[in-house]
Amino acid sequence: MEYDRELARLWRVSRTVHEMVRDRGYLVADYEISEDFESFKARQGGGQEVDRIKLNFSVDHRENEGDRIHVYFCGDKSVAKASIKKFVGDMENFKATRGILIHVEKLGGVANKTMQELQSEYHLEAFRESELLVNITNHFLVPKHTVMTKAEKQELIKRYRLKETQLPRIMLSDPVARYYGVKRGEVMKIERASETAGRYVTYRICM
């Protein structure tokens, strides 16, 4: 049944985005991640069309007061300027300064331009549903990544007497950088297993 297939797909996407938001330091409860498919389906109300609005949520950061993120599932097949405006309107209603847009198809040029124009007021991100079917950070080949605080970054630079330009780089478009919502200039600490040292640590600055 097409409805059940689409719902199962969205159940996986919803679980990944809740994990992603929690891994960024936001207050996401365990039950929101571990929800089984039947419970997820029941929340849809038993209709014959998926209601993505019921998947939207807003949460506060665990440590940073006033830092709230809003996750918005866009049901429009073609994301237009009006879709972005609705997304930002929802953010304002929930008093969120950060927002994640989850969309079905690729963003068009107009939608991308509108997102860029609004970046001066809000921190906006967009993911296709297909990008969130699995949590890439759970893959055994992906080492542990941690976004360093400003203080930790300054300590790193001071300790090794580095300039920011001397640090290896990670691109904003890198899938792991996108997962953690890394901003330009932030540094990621990357920990890999090592047969000789036990643990091998590297650092990359986002550019």
pLDDT in tens, 20-52: 999 999 999 999 999 999 999 998 887 778 899
Domains of the chain: 2-134 (3.40.1340.10), 137-206 (3.90.940.20)
Contact 16, 134 (CB under 8 A): yes
pLDDT tens figures, 145-175? 999 999 999 999 999 998 999 999 999 999 9
Query: What's the CA gap between 88 and 157, in Å, rounded?
Result: 37
